[in-house]
Amino acid sequence: MSEPTSPPPTVGPRVVLDHQSATPLLPEVRAAMEPFLGADFGNPSSLHRLGLWARDALDTAREQVAAFVNARSPGDVLFTSDGTESANLAVKGVAWAVRRRAGHLVVSATEHPAVIQSVAFLESHGFTATRVGTDAEGIVDPAAVGAAITRETVLVALHHANHDTGAIQPCAEVGRLAAKAGAPFFVDAESSAGWLPLDVQAMGAGLMSFSPHRFGGPRGVGVLVRDARVKLASLIHGGAQEGGLRAGVENVAAIVGAGVACEIASKQRSNRAANAARLQEKLWRGVQSAVARVQLNGPAPGPGRLPSNLNVSVEATEGEGLMLLLDFQGVAVSGGTICASKELRTSPVLQAMGIGHARAQAAVIVSFGPPSTEADVDRFLEVFPGVVAKLRAMSPQWDEGRMG
């Protein structure tokens, strides 16, 4: 078996502007996790002292997460393996719980693939679904969601902020419409957690999912907050862990880290968001000044957009080319869409917004994290114009005399 290799050398310092994919583990989180990777290795289902200590650690983490989202009770917090599993459990779990009667789901057309593909799976099993479109900035009209709800609607799902464009959705308004119709409301907070205030009660969210690895927590753990009044069927069967809704031995170390990451984020969110907003504004101004024919995808920087996200399309280039050449210069960004960048596919979110293929293919996503600095933005702006010029020099679409 081959040993893992280190990343190849780059030109200049390494700068990470792809924090929407993952963030480094906070030192406080690592310190909290370490005992449970060593001497405190107990199984929370065991009745001896080591097991009871692990169970207490899970209870503390539930309290920390519940406070982070203003849940009604720590008992509403379920732990999974990641945000994708949490979204699957929310969508499929609600649907299977009411399987005895007709089921209809309402979602936006720009949901995360975990939601979109879960809905498609349910459609293949007899459910129906309405996918509500967005405006040109990727924002859903609550009235359109309300019009799509029927007497057979068993779930309304909407992300809090978009993973590609950073567009912040009117969740509270949609939550009120879902409550009026008696349909559970699921909020995917995967991209907004750690950056925007989360309040399941104010949003009217019977279900909310997110992953702490987006804001300094560990990978390998996800969260689903579920109001006990929402019926939910388990997708994984076996033991009685997580209230019988998610069988399998809990990942205690990761869950402990998730709780600490949520507690830190509660205290630092405002400062983090303000710093990211400054970096976002500086980077966008710098790109506009340095490169011709650049378009912003999603809302303008400000209250309608995540401060941590910037998605731009550079005419006569391709997102994957920009990403790879930037990486050679030591700058990590995402090409096209966060969850499809490995396959180098065009973003389905941008397509659903009505953005043309060429523009969608030319998109790159810059995302900030807690450790991001102005020096990171300066380095990006130092190398980005040259990367664009190199790609455009090879592009038959680009004619400096006509387009520059």
Confidence of residue 9 (pLDDT cuts 50, 70, 90): low
Which residue(s) pair with 365 in the sheet? 311, 334
For domain 15-24+269-397, give the CATH superfamily: Aspartate Aminotransferase, domain 1 (3.90.1150.10)
Q: What is the pLDDT of residue 341?
A: 47
Ramachandran angles phi, psi of 158, nearest 5°? -150, 135
**Prediction pTM value:** 0.93
Contacts of 293 (CB under 8 A, 6+ apart): 314, 315, 316, 403, 404
CATH code at 27-264: 3.40.640.10
Contact 380, 290 (CB under 8 A): no
Side chain identity at 387, as an amino acid letter? V
Ranges of each domain in the chain = 15-24+269-397, 27-264
Q: Residue 11 has what pLDDT?
A: 56
CA distance 78 to 266: 19
**What pLDDT is stored for residue 301 in this prediction?**
97
Distance set, CA 282 to CA 167, 172, 353, 380, 393 (Å): 19, 30, 26, 11, 27
Choice among 25, 314, 339, 377 that is catalytic: 339
272-307 pLDDT, tens digit per residue, is 999 999 999 999 999 999 999 999 999 999 999 999
Q: Quick check: is 171 catalytic?
A: no
Encoded tokens for 278: 């400054």
Task: Reply yes or no on whether the pLDDT at 88 is more than 60.
Answer: yes
Instruction: Tell me the mean pLDDT in the region 245-256.
Output: 93
Closest to 261 (Cα-Cα) out of 59, 16, 25: 25
